[in-house]
Amino acid sequence: MSRKPQQTPDAILRRLEWTVIRRLDGLLQGDYRTLMRGSGLDLADLREYQHHDDVRHIDWNVTARLQTPFVREFHEEREISVWFLLDLSPSVDFGSEDVKKQQVAAEFVAALARLLTRHGNRVGAILYGDGVEAVIPARGGRIQVLHLLQRMQQRPEPAGSKPTDLSELLVAAERMVKRRSTVFVVSDFFSQPGWDAPLARLVQRHEVVAVRLHDPLERVLPDIGLILMRDAETGEQLLVDTHDKGFRRRFARLAEEREQTLLASLANAGVDTLELATDDDLVDAILRFADLRKQRARLAAGGGLPEHLKASRDSSKEAA
């Protein structure tokens, strides 16, 4: 994923159209909507539950009232609205090799946005740095994708003047994204606590995916002697000796604790997570995520009716 540091948005997008988007078009075989499961739906009708129906579409209020499970049927809209909530805070401007997390985010946004706009959909973005800095309304077309890339490139260098607080970004999305949409939260999730509550609220209205950016050096420190570590958020610097096995073990333990806490918070909020590492292949990562969503959809569709609903249905039929 090496790249020239000063590539223009048009050069980046042209490269991605040849190296990433073309591959995704072929490998997904047109089924790009698997990345946006559940979005772009309008309620059409209610009908009685049948075997292999998706249990997530059960209308529990009607089911309780009629003592028979009913599911909601939907009309699928031809157009999807997708929003990218972009964390461009100082910690995202990090990479242990040639590739920074911010560059990975830019490639992901450009590739997915172009894939979507080619099929007539609209994409927008909310940019967060030292706070919510810009809102780009959802529009279609290649020019919109170039505009997103340009705004990501042109924002000022992160000042690190205050700690990152992702809740500001998520609350802004609650207020600004009115129409039901697919929302990608693109961040490394190095943030002040409290972001999980607004994320869970966002899930109640939209289809939300966490796109987690990370670098291998954030989990395991190599034995490379004395290094100067800098906190990207505060600017604080500390000289550490990576020859010290005890220090490396403590670092790895704290990194693992943070990892488990983060994954639990994302799971509790009800979001799927796409992992994007600075040393990963973008196409492979997106395809792994698409496969995960397909598997979950199949499990949900084939899981059948919960036992307590089966009992209620059988009792109702016997009474009739």
Mean pLDDT of the residues in the chain? 79
Q: Which CATH number is 246's domain given?
A: 3.40.50.410
Q: With b meaning 16 or more CB within 10 Å and e meaning fewer, what string describes 54-87?
A: ebebbbeeebeeeebbbbbeeeeeeebbbbbbbb
Predicted confidence (pLDDT) per residue in 72-87, tens digit:
765 455 567 899 999 9
- Is 13 contained in some domain? yes
Burial of 123 (0-12, 13-18, 19+ CB in 10 A): buried
- Is 37 contained in some domain? no
* Whole-number pLDDT of residue 33: 61
Predicted confidence (pLDDT) per residue in 187-201, tens digit:
999 999 999 999 999
- Is 58 contained in some domain? no
- Is 55 contained in some domain? no
Number of domains in the chain: 1
0.85 exceeded by pTM: no
Give DSSP secondary structure letters for 84-112. Answer: EEEE-SGGGS--SSS--HHHHHHHHHHHH
Q: Print the domain residue range for 138.
A: 9-31+78-280
Predicted confidence (pLDDT) per residue in 103-137, tens digit:
999 999 999 999 889 888 899 999 998 889 999 99
- Is 157 contained in some domain? yes
Closest CA to 170 of 202, 148, 141: 202
* Whole-number pLDDT of residue 25: 77
Cβ contacts of residue 68 below 8 Å, gap of 6+?
48, 49, 312, 313, 316
Per-residue pLDDT, averaged over 138-163, amounts to 83
* Whole-number pLDDT of residue 2: 43
